[in-house]
């Protein structure tokens, strides 16, 4: 790693040979690291994938490297993007964001040219994906808008709530995501099942009539729009969901029947969703007695979803085929494949195509499933010292007594309250890729009124802080504000 960094950013003391004579150094060193990366994937990972990141490469011309990768054959031009394991998640986010921006510009330009060609007067709305919804019909209106505006999905997102004034500078978009996800994941919708032991959602296996495929597609579109527009979502999906999203990472032009299918799912995959079931299947595989006589299992799956037990056959006539010591491994494999692939195939297929209808980009090839999850959901690692260093002030100075008191109050909050504070000022309690140091946060001087509550403008990650006289009053008002805030409205 250090060798590549030193050669990429050569020291000024001329201690290294001229770059023209050592062009082979970086490609050769990277290929050696590729062997380590390949070996690391063969069995149990000895190195966490982040240990192969070279964060110094965050500072090279990443888009030039990306375009070289897109434009030339591997033997014609070296590119770090050929070896994505070496690029950090920050570098990949930069590439994906810049690629998204280029696609937004291209689509907006096409709309402008089309208007001019038809001799129509263009207006500013042609540059945006304009979503206009009623709060009382949020899901249905969102479905209709997205279905009607498929060609605009790769434009900058702008949301309007019908009958409400306000210009969307980011806050309304965040609120739309929040409310829509909350409604679709509600138990009454029956699309997803929440597993309390693992604290995650999984697709309902009971969707036999497939009436909700448009809604599953909508969730996929939402995830794609979130990545495309750099919005962090509060989603609790297991890791295998993101592996399925990248199976394959680019939508096939033909024979798309296998999209979203994970080959040879394991008990570890199931353990992320149903740890109790995974534990029972492990015990079955390790059981030393007579499985058929002692357990009385047949080739069926029994699941309870939304308080309703259901039974499914794992093979024809499965209810009459006993599980024996010899067939228990087959039973477990069929069980895993049914839960994680077959039973949710149509639902996940709609979800997959929804996501890729927005995020169709070769940049996805470079991402691991864990990295896609980070881009969608951010991280839960709070480092308020980093946020403090990145904070800008309007009307206050960093060394003002009230600012020092403010940060002391923030430090004294519980972890749950700190998350609510982050939600209050940014619209999300998750931290984006790059950490809190990369966030834009501004504290603005408020009125000299101790009875006023702090205000937040989530569009701009801005906190309006009144001029409180002491520590106790500031903490009282701040905690009251963050614990009673809901939604974003015009802010």
The answer to the question of residue 259 being in a domain is no
Average pLDDT over residues 452-467: 91
The answer to the question of residue 427 being in a domain is yes
CB 347 within 8 A of CB 212: yes
Does 355 lie in the same domain as 287? Answer: no
Residues 273, 410: Cα–Cα separation, whole Å: 34
Residue 83 tokens, joined: 């070896």
The answer to the question of residue 6 being in a domain is yes
The answer to the question of residue 120 being in a domain is yes
Does 362 lie in the same domain as 312? Answer: no
Average pLDDT over residues 191-198: 91
125-155 pLDDT, tens digit each: 788 899 999 999 999 999 999 999 988 888 8
Does 233 lie in the same domain as 178? Answer: yes
Split at pLDDT 50, 70, 90, the class of 486 is: low
Residue with tokens 């306000």: 166
Split at pLDDT 50, 70, 90, the class of 208 is: low
Split at pLDDT 50, 70, 90, the class of 488 is: very low
Does 373 lie in the same domain as 288? Answer: no
360-388 pLDDT, tens digit each: 888 889 999 999 999 999 888 888 899 99
- Supply the pLDDT for residue 238: 95
67-104 pLDDT, tens digit each: 999 888 777 789 999 999 999 999 999 998 888 888 87
Residue 250 tokens, joined: 């680019």
As a whole number, the mean pLDDT across the chain is 89
- Supply the pLDDT for residue 242: 96
- Supply the pLDDT for residue 491: 37
Measure the CA dihedral 253/259/264/269, to 10°: 140
Which residues are bridge partners to 457 per DSSP? 462
CATH number at residue 231: 3.90.1750.10
Q: Given 69, 88, 107, which residue is the final one in a domain?
A: 88
The two most distant CA atoms of the chain are separated, in Å, by 81
Q: Given 331, 353, 377, which residue is the final one in a domain?
A: 377
Query: For a pLDDT cut of 70, what percent of the chain falls above it?
Result: 97
Burial of 95 (C-beta count, 10 Å sphere; 0-12/13-18/19+): buried
Residue with tokens 């375009």: 67
Domain of residue 12: give its range. Answer: 1-88
Average pLDDT over residues 250-278: 91
Beta-carbon contacts of 130 under 8 Å, excluding residues fewer than 6 positions away, are 149, 152, 158, 160
284-322 pLDDT, tens digit each: 999 999 999 999 999 999 888 877 788 999 999 999 999
Split at pLDDT 50, 70, 90, the class of 336 is: very high
CATH number at residue 474: 3.30.2410.10
100-130 pLDDT, tens digit each: 888 878 887 888 888 888 888 777 778 889 9
Residue with tokens 């969901």: 241
Residues 219, 245: Cα–Cα separation, whole Å: 12
381-435 pLDDT, tens digit each: 888 899 999 999 999 999 999 999 999 999 999 999 999 999 899 888 888 888 8
Does 319 lie in the same domain as 204? Answer: no
Average pLDDT over residues 207-227: 85
Does 148 lie in the same domain as 65? Answer: no
Does 325 lie in the same domain as 278? Answer: yes
Alpha-carbon distances of 7 from 66, 330, 478, rounded to whole Å: 20, 52, 50
Does 191 lie in the same domain as 314? Answer: no
Residues 136, 358: Cα–Cα separation, whole Å: 26
Of 375, 355, 427, the residue nearest 90 (C-alpha) = 375
Q: Given 62, 88, 114, which residue is the final one in a domain?
A: 88
The answer to the question of residue 74 being in a domain is yes
- Supply the pLDDT for residue 171: 78
Question: Can you list the pairs that 170-174 forms with residues at least 24 positions away whose Cβ atoms lie under 8 Å?
Answer: 170/427, 170/458, 170/459, 170/460, 171/427, 171/457, 171/458, 171/459, 171/488, 171/489, 171/490, 171/491, 172/488, 172/490, 173/229, 173/231, 174/231, 174/427, 174/428, 174/458, 174/488
Does 458 lie in the same domain as 392? Answer: yes
Does 14 lie in the same domain as 146? Answer: no
Does 353 lie in the same domain as 396? Answer: no
Does 319 lie in the same domain as 389? Answer: no
The answer to the question of residue 260 being in a domain is no
The answer to the question of residue 489 being in a domain is no
The answer to the question of residue 69 being in a domain is yes
Please count the structural domains in the chain: 4
Split at pLDDT 50, 70, 90, the class of 489 is: very low
Catalytically annotated residues: 459
């Amino acid at each position: 790693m250090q060798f590549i960094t030193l050669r990429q950013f050569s020291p000024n003391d001329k201690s290294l040979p001229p770059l023209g004579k050592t062009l082979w150094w970086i490609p050769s060193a990277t290929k050696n690291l590729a062997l380590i990366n390949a070996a690391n994937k063969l069995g149990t990972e000895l190195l966490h994938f982040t240990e192969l990141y070279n964060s110094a490469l965050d500072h090279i011309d990443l888009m030039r490297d990306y375009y070289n990768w897109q434009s030339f054959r591997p033997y014609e031009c070296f590119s770090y993007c050929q070896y994505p394991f070496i690029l950090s998640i920050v570098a990949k986010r930069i590439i994906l964001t810049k690629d998204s921006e280029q696609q937004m510009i291209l689509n907006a330009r096409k709309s402008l040219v089309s208007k001019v060609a038809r001799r129509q007067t263009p207006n500013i709305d042609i540059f945006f994906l304009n979503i206009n919804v009623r709060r009382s019909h949020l899901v249905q209106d969102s479905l209709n808008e997205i279905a009607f505006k498929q060609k605009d999905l790769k434009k900058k997102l702008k949301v309007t709530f019908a009958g409400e004034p306000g210009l969307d500078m980011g806050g309304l978009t965040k609120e739309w995501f929040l409310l829509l996800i909350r409604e679709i994941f509600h138990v009454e919708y029956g699309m997803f099942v929440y597993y309390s032991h693992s604290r995650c959602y999984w697709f309902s296996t009971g969707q036999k009539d497939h009436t909700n495929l448009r809604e599953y597609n909508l969730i996929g579109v939402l995830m794609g729009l979130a990545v495309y527009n750099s919005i962090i979502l509060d989603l609790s999906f297991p890791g295998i969901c993101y592996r399925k999203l990248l199976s394959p990472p680019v939508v096939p032009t033909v024979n798309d029947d296998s999209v979203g299918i994970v080959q040879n799912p394991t008990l570890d995959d199931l353990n992320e969703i149903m740890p109790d079931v995974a534990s029972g299947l492990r015990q079955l595989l390790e059981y030393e007695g007579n499985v058929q006589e002692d357990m009385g299992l047949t080739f069926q799956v029994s699941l309870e979803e939304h308080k309703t037990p259901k039974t499914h056959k794992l093979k024809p006539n499965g209810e009459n085929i006993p599980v024996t010591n010899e067939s228990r491994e087959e039973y477990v494999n069929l069980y895993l494949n049914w839960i994680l692939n077959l039973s949710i195939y149509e639902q996940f297929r709609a979800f997959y195509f929804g996501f890729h209808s927005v995020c169709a980009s070769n940049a996805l090839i470079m991402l691991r499933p864990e990295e896609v999850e980070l881009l969608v959901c951010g991280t839960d690692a709070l480092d308020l010292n980093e946020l403090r260093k990145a904070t800008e002030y309007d009307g206050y100075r960093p060394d003002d007594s009230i600012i020092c008191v403010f940060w002391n109050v923030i430090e004294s909050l519980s972890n749950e309250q700190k998350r609510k504070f982050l939600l209050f000022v940014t619209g999300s309690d998750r931290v984006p890729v790059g950490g809190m140091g990369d966030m834009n946060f501004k504290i603005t001087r408020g009125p000299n009124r101790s009875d006023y509550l702090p205000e937040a403008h989530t569009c701009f990650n801005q906190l309006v802080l009144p001029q409180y006289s002491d520590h106790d009053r500031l903490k009282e008002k701040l905690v009251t504000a963050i614990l009673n805030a809901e939604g974003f409205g015009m802010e």
